Structure 1
Amino acid sequence: MINFDEQIRRALSDAGYNSLTQVQERAIPLLLQTKSVIVQAKTGSGKTASYVLPLLQLGYPSLVITPTRELAGQVSDEFKKLGKYKGINVATIIGGVGYTSQLNELRSAKIVVGTPGRLLDLWSKDKLDFSQFQAAVVDEVDRMFDMGFVDDVRMILKHTTPKVFGFFSATVPPEVESLAREFSRCAELIKLDEYKPVEEVEQRFVETRNDWTDKVSKLRELLNSNRGKIIVFTRTKERAKMLYNSLWDLGYRASVMYGDLPQAKREQNLRLFREGKRNVLVSTDLASRGIDVIDVDLVVNFDAPRDVETYIHRVGRTGRMGRNGVAITLYTTREREIVNRMKNLSKKLESKETANS
């Protein structure tokens, strides 16, 4: 059992944390020994706490880099929740909000969580000194590559001098491991999940006659038969907006997330979904990064994902923390080829094909 200090134990008790997840059991002891790690762990595995807890225990000035504003906010909230009795201040440094409040936070912050662009922005203005950090974590490293942030991440890390690094990712392809070893050659690689969807998720595939009206009809059937939290993925923000408006016209109380939605609106929509005041969230892949909602009952791929990795990230939004979940992909004839790749992804998973009648 890991011997956390009294303040952390109290916070864990308040939060209802009774046991550690697999990733926490593997990563926390190493980080507490200031041994760097490269961790492959699926969404919903408890990976955020696996670096938040040791950083709080060590008490080092720490930097956490995330690919999205939403994830940065959620990581900051985790630090505040688990570190509330330690009196450690946290600054959240993201775009889309004013500088004044962030600069005020930085004056007293021991932990800084932020997105690459705004972090570099403040650094270039001499408002943030990366060399102060004794610990650095990059979360969702694979998405840093997907979103074109890897050069920014590299620039930030080159100006840090940490005692310990943490690199966390849903997948660890060679380029992710290579980036990590640029900065920590001896980092221990922890692979908890292979490159496959989570076993807890039941996958179904529904072929539709066309790319809109029949998909909307099938989606309505799914929404009418599922009253829990549902995330619906589209391939573009235009499709997300259209579907969101259509669902409201049809009487469904939905929220929407897409890349250039104003920050205040993004936070409001996500909060309404988390609190259950909206049970449907329509989202693009880009906007969904960092959406951390444990109790999602159903994921619907309104549009088939562009590749296997995107499918993994989508499916990982349900069936989290050991819960059962369902992922349903709606697809047309034109999307059949990519869907066949999803079906063949893992022989261990039983996929149910539903014919279009």
Structure 2
Amino acid sequence: MIHKVQGAVVLSKDAPVTLQTVLVPDPGPGEALVDILTSGVCHTDLHYKQGGISDDFPFLLGHEATGVVSAVGPGVTNVIPGDRVILNWRAVCGTCRACAKGQPQYCFNTANATQKMTLEDGTVLSPALGIGAFIEKTLVAAGQCTKVDDDVDPAAAGLLGCGVMAGLGAAINTGGVKRGDSVAVIGCGGVGSAAIAGAALAGATTVIAVDRDPRKLTKAMTLGATDTVNATDEDAVAAIRALTGGFGADVVIDAVGRPETYKQAFYARDLAGTVVLVGVPTPEMVLELPLLDVFGRGGSLKSSWYGDCLPSRDFPALIDLYKQGRLDLDAFVTERITINDIEAAFTKMGDGSVLRSVVVL
């Protein structure tokens, strides 16, 4: 059976998002059909729209989603129809060299649905991050579904599907923040704000938020920041050092992903400290650092993919913390919008007025 549903599609580079009729097949082996409840508007969706990820247009946007499984294909055992799930883009294979080493959070062969969703004329769609969630129903690999309790707000829970998980994981999983650490986060958008929350959750005693937007710095204080630095008014590196006894932070997280901010992170960390890059750079960006400084300062320089998360492990644990009142996922939901408002949400993202706009289907 083919399902005809409405989805938000970008047909070509920088074209406006338009609602199109999308043909979604019933699930085949290893696949699941999911009725979407909510999907956050993530900066990655904007990258797709701008052609910054690939040129495989047209794209079916959306990936940061919660839904309900409506059907599963042969061989699927991890979910059944009626399950509430958060969708993820790390459906681990279990057999690649990372999985074989016991590090499935780095799986190099993650799965997507085999069948394709298309426009009515047969044009094959490229779903964002193998999900495509700005749509009434989407088809994914069953491993992209992580079952969670159905008594939580889907708009908040779904943000673990990308941005919030990326930030939390950058602090907890990649950065290894522990009790008593000092942490600085450069860039306090959705991902950076989640990194601040993650650092506080892990027990960091000094959590420094760095941004140019006073609104974001104010919000960061509500999410666990102990100090703020407005990078428009003062030198971020000097300010972070001043707030950490002159030494620099144990962990510095670059949630912007530019050479300038990475250098700030590099020089704002303590000797033998850790730098975590979670902001996504663009292909033309080049970083130059004196090799002697890289050697002499020691420590670790890490990149964080998806917060180095394992969805089957991390999503349920974080939902439990949310239900206990220890992780305020609601704070990341700035507004709830319809599928017709995605273009406006991209504009708000650019002017810094939202952490997350969430499409409610």
Common fold by TM > 0.5: no
TM-score normalised according to structure 2 size: 0.29
Which one has more relative contact order, counting CA pairs under 8 Å at least 6 apart? 1
